[in-house]
Amino acid sequence: MHAILYVLSAVFVGGCNRDKAAAASPDPQSSATPATVAKTVHPAGPELHVDPARAFQYAKEIVAFGPRWDGSKGQQRMGEYIQGKLKGDQVEEDAFVADTPAGRIPMRNIVAKFPGSRDGIIVLGSHIDTNYPLRNTSFVGANDGASTTGLLLAIADQIRGKKLEGYSIWLAFLDGEESIPSDTPGDMRWVSDQALYGSRHLAGKWAQDGTAKKIKAFILADMIGDKDLDIQRDNVSTPWLEDLILQAATKLGYQSYFFAQTLPGLEDDHVPFARAGIPVADMIDINYGYNNSFHHTTQDTLDKISPKSLQIAGDVILETIRLVNAGGEVQSTKQ
Ligand SMILES: [Zn+2]
């Protein structure tokens, strides 16, 4: 599954004016240079690492469910699987029925909450659906959906039972990311208001109930299981948060995997949360296979992802959390 779509700015000019991304002009920066000059922040709390073999194993088990488009048996099993892995954790389901061009489809986000010692929340997200227009194919979304969902479950394993010294960490397993533009199989169009169903629903709920104000950072992971890892910066994401990600990557020696390119007008699950006023960052690799040739094709299989990439992304996320806990936002935006 995957979730992204990235729409070039030229498309936006066509009149997608409801989209925040559409209003954003392309970032002239095309290098790893931070958009803001962040001071070095000293991480807070103990260093944590994901177990990459475990993250990969979870992705493998998820892929074994087969296609997991909304409304499918695979997607139902996926929900049960996530609930099973989070047994004993504080878990909430955000169930709703999405009005789509293919009809009304039941969906649900799953949110696991791990309480911290400070008032405030850091949310990590991944989408759990696979591409809907490819539902009649063997598309299993090893990278596009499974890899990041497996990674979030592996992160849960690292933080479960620990006394979190900083903000609470919530893991958001987001449904309905992929576009459902019509009921026609193979209709691969990305339509802004016919996608991101789960993130739009959850962000709307959190904006209404006051949760959004408590969220210090929302970090989305998407397609970062790619063996040939190349994570892009995008101009919807919040500059100070991406600066912290780069700082975390640099500390861990992984900076060469980050931000060689900046994407304009990226639409992904981070966008609805950005609209709710939450600082967001999308850790995404939309360059999957030569010329992105594996993306949204039946070639998105387990052999194209690696434990190493999951380790890089996971450890950078966990290190970024320490930087946010250390007040990275304040120091970065003071410049
Ligand atoms: Zn996708």
pLDDT digit string, tens, across residues 125-184: 999 999 999 999 999 999 999 999 999 999 999 999 999 999 999 999 999 999 999 999
Q: Among candidates 43, 39, 55, which has minimal Cα distance to 124?
A: 55
Q: Is residue 56 within 8 Å of 150, Cβ to Cβ?
A: yes
CA–CA separation, 304 vs 321, rounded Å? 28
Q: How far apart are the CA of 144 and the centre of ligand 1, in A? A: 5
Helical residues (DSSP H) of the chain, grouped into ranges: 9-13, 20-23, 52-63, 73-85, 148-159, 197-209, 211-214, 239-252, 270-275, 307-325, 328-333
pLDDT for 42: 81
Q: How far apart are the CA of 206 and the centre of ligand 1, in A? A: 24
Q: How far apart are the CA of 166 and the centre of ligand 1, in A? A: 33
Question: Residue 258 forms beta bridges with which residues?
Answer: 231
Q: How far apart are the CA of 41 and the centre of ligand 1, in A? A: 34
pLDDT for 191: 92
CA angle 326, 329, 334 (to 5 degrees): 115
Q: How far apart are the CA of 163 and the centre of ligand 1, in A? A: 35
Q: How far apart are the CA of 130 and the centre of ligand 1, in A? A: 7
Q: Among candidates 155, 154, 164, which has minimal Cα distance to 45?
A: 164
Q: How far apart are the CA of 189 and the centre of ligand 1, in A? A: 11
Q: Is residue 117 within 8 Å of 176, Cβ to Cβ?
A: no
Measured in whole angstroms, the distance separating CA 229 from the mean position of its chain's CA atoms is 15
pLDDT for 332: 53
Q: How far apart are the CA of 185 and the centre of ligand 1, in A? A: 15
Q: How far apart are the CA of 52 and the centre of ligand 1, in A? A: 23
Instruction: Record the pTM.
Output: 0.89
Q: Among candidates 276, 277, 266, which has minimal Cα distance to 222?
A: 266
Q: How far apart are the CA of 172 and the centre of ligand 1, in A? A: 17
83, HSE (Cβ side, Cα atoms, 13 Å): 12
The overall longest dimension of the chain from CA atoms, in Å, is: 52
Q: How far apart are the CA of 190 and the centre of ligand 1, in A? A: 10
Give per-residue pLDDT as tens, 23-75: 333 343 444 444 454 567 788 888 999 999 999 999 999 999 999 999 999 99
Q: How far apart are the CA of 134 and the centre of ligand 1, in A? A: 10
Q: How far apart are the CA of 36 and the centre of ligand 1, in A? A: 30
Q: How far apart are the CA of 154 and the centre of ligand 1, in A? A: 21
Q: How far apart are the CA of 194 and the centre of ligand 1, in A? A: 13
Q: How far apart are the CA of 31 and the centre of ligand 1, in A? A: 25
Complete domains list, the chain, with CATH? 5-333 (3.40.630.10)
Looking at the chain, the whole-number percentage of residues with pLDDT higher than 70 is 87
Q: How far apart are the CA of 127 and the centre of ligand 1, in A? A: 9
155, HSE (Cβ side, Cα atoms, 13 Å): 32
Structure-model confidence comparison of residues 231 and 13, the more confident one? 231
Give per-residue pLDDT as tens, 293-312: 999 999 999 999 999 999 99
pLDDT for 38: 56
Give per-residue pLDDT as tens, 80-132: 999 999 999 999 999 999 999 999 999 999 999 999 999 999 999 999 999 99
Q: Is residue 321 within 8 Å of 313, Cβ to Cβ?
A: no
DSSP 8-state code for residue 305: B
pLDDT for 107: 98
- Integer-rounded Cα radius of gyration of the chain: 18
Q: Is residue 199 within 8 Å of 275, Cβ to Cβ?
A: no
Q: Look at 36-45, 236-245, 288-297 and tell me which has the smallest mean pLDDT.
A: 36-45
pLDDT for 44: 81
With residue 231 as reference, give the H or E element that holds it.
Answer: strand 231-234
Contacts of 161 by beta carbon, 8 Å cutoff, 6+ apart: none
Q: Among candidates 26, 3, 173, 202, which has minimal Cα distance to 85?
A: 173
Average per-residue pLDDT for the chain: 89
Res 218 pLDDT > 60: yes
Q: How far apart are the CA of 110 and the centre of ligand 1, in A? A: 19
Q: How far apart are the CA of 180 and the centre of ligand 1, in A? A: 11
pLDDT for 39: 65
- Is the CA virtual torsion 172, 212, 197, 288 positive or negative? negative
